[in-house]
């Protein structure tokens, strides 16, 4: 079990590192897609089927495509002349280390908070569905409103660029 975890973790970390170190932006986008795939595999190895498959469906199927479209439509695919490292890289590393420390502390504390269980409770898609329309219906509706607003806004922005609809 842990061998699988280490393999998937290595894949994810490799993908993420490649995403920041490669020169060609589209290569970076594809590497981040691999990282998403690694995350999905991690979800699946924890028996969270819904989360894993939705990760693939949404992140790889839509978000990655969005990223590459954004890269292509904004001329970002030219190779930068002076390398990928910015002059303020030390500050960046410091901030990343701080964020990692905070998240790591939160995760370790939460693991100690839950009593050690032999079997992981099996959460089916059915349970997720009931939870979404039961206790969590308000967040669901708010997210839906947000998405609708985003869609309408996108249409308006696109229409405005066109200079009036016909």
Q: Which residues bind another protein (CB under 8 A)?
A: 24, 26-27, 30, 33, 40, 49-50, 53-54, 56-57, 60-62, 64-65, 68-69, 72, 124-126, 162-163, 166
What is the smallest separation between the CB atom of 136 and another protein, expressed in angstroms?
19
What is the spatial distance between Cα 49 and Cα 52, in angstroms, rounded to a whole number? 5
Nearer to another protein, 47 or 100 (CB): 47
Nearer to another protein, 56 or 84 (CB): 56
Other beta carbons less than 10 A from residue 118's beta carbon: 4
What count of Cα atoms within 13 Å lies in the side-chain half-sphere of residue 110? 6
What is the smallest separation between the CB atom of 10 and another protein, expressed in angstroms?
19
What is the smallest separation between the CB atom of 161 and another protein, expressed in angstroms?
8
50 and 131 Cβ atoms separated by less than 8 Å: no
What is the smallest separation between the CB atom of 33 and another protein, expressed in angstroms?
6
Other beta carbons less than 10 A from residue 165's beta carbon: 8
Nearer to another protein, 49 or 84 (CB): 49
77 and 23 Cβ atoms separated by less than 8 Å: no
Nearer to another protein, 8 or 64 (CB): 64
Q: What is the largest CA-CA distance in the chain?
A: 64
What is the smallest separation between the CB atom of 114 and another protein, expressed in angstroms?
24
| Residue 3, burial from CB neighbour count under 10 angstroms (0-12, 13-18, 19+) | exposed
Nearer to another protein, 16 or 56 (CB): 56
């Amino acid at each position: 079990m842990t061998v699988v975890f280490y393999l998937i973790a290595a894949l994810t970390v490799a993908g993420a590192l490649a995403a920041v170190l490669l020169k060609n932006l589209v290569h970076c986008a594809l590497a981040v897609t691999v990282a998403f795939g690694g995350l999905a595999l991690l979800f699946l190895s924890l028996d969270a089927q819904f989360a894993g498959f939705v990760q693939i469906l949404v992140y790889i199927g839509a978000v990655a495509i969005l990223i590459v479209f954004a890269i292509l439509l904004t001329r970002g695919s030219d190779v930068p002349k002076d390398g990928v490292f910015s002059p303020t890289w030390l500050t960046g590393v410091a901030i990343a280390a701080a964020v990692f420390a905070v998240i790591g502390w939160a995760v370790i504390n939460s693991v100690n908070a839950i009593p050690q269980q032999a079997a992981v409770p099996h959460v089916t898609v059915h349970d997720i569905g009931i939870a979404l329309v039961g206790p969590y219906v308000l967040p669901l509706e708010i997210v839906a409103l947000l998405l609708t607003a985003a869609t309408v806004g996108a249409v308006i922005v696109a229409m405005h660029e066109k200079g009036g609809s016909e």
